[in-house]
Structure 1
Amino acid sequence: MPSRQPRNPEPCPVARSVELIGDRWSLLIVRDAFDGMRRFGDFQRSLGVARNILADRLRKLVDAGILETEAAAEGSAYQAYVLTPRGQSLFPLVLALRQWGETHLFAPGEAHSQLLDRRTGQPVPTMRVLDAQGAELLPEQSEVRKLERTGE
């Protein structure tokens, strides 16, 4: 759970998620962690972010249980930042953003990075939202239903 909760917690899961990981630097740190980055200096070189901002975002991601710290190497004074299971569960979100960007933000033939399946060397297939029977679920086929608070 996040270490601090707003006074009136937002009842929307999207709003709460954006509050936690929705800023540019947090999402790019998570992206880089999926790409194997672990050290403060590596994140800073990749992102070009100011040290104080990077330190703040890393602390918030650790406090939220998205990243955890461990010794960078045995006997080293440096810390490594690694994704927790909670952080690893963000993979579909990062993949969806990547695939949306590939589809909508690059001109045909424009160079960009590509995510490959290490087992096959093939591009990761486009994500699809499926219903309980395995058929594609379109936005107009879904609805938001607000749930009432249950017991403590």
Structure 2
Amino acid sequence: MTLDQVPVRLLGPVDLDRARDVACAVLAAEQAAATRAQELTVDYALRREQFSRAIGSFQALKHRITDLYVLVETARSAAYAAPDSPRLVVVAKVHCSKALTTVAAEMIQLPGGIAVTCEHPVHRYLKRAHATAQLLGPPHHHLSRVHP
């Protein structure tokens, strides 16, 4: 179907900046759902055993998982605050993009080789993280809106 000769009529004034901010706030909220990605990683670390103990009990992994927890919680806070102002939308878009990308990358590293197979859902989070980081403009584009 082609719509070459269809008349177009605006329904009303459109504030494209506001529409972009709403879309970025919604995207940040989705990215802040990295909680699920983190939960999968923690669950795997608690179940997977190496040297007769769960890999999640090793101090090095505990620290990395804790860092992910902090990143996810700050992303969630940024996403909750985003609707309050255009500046907070920028903060949420930039921080949540970085958070999901970081969490997804760590999800690949912490479980090891299983994470890059089709049998494990982790690879989908990484693909989604990279795609959404660029969606509606990359983070540096949004930073230039508040720091011209």
TM-score by length of 2: 0.23
State the TM-score, normalizing by the size of structure 1: 0.22
- Higher radius of gyration, 1 or 2: 2
Higher-RCO chain (CA-CA 8 Å, sequence separation at least 6): 2
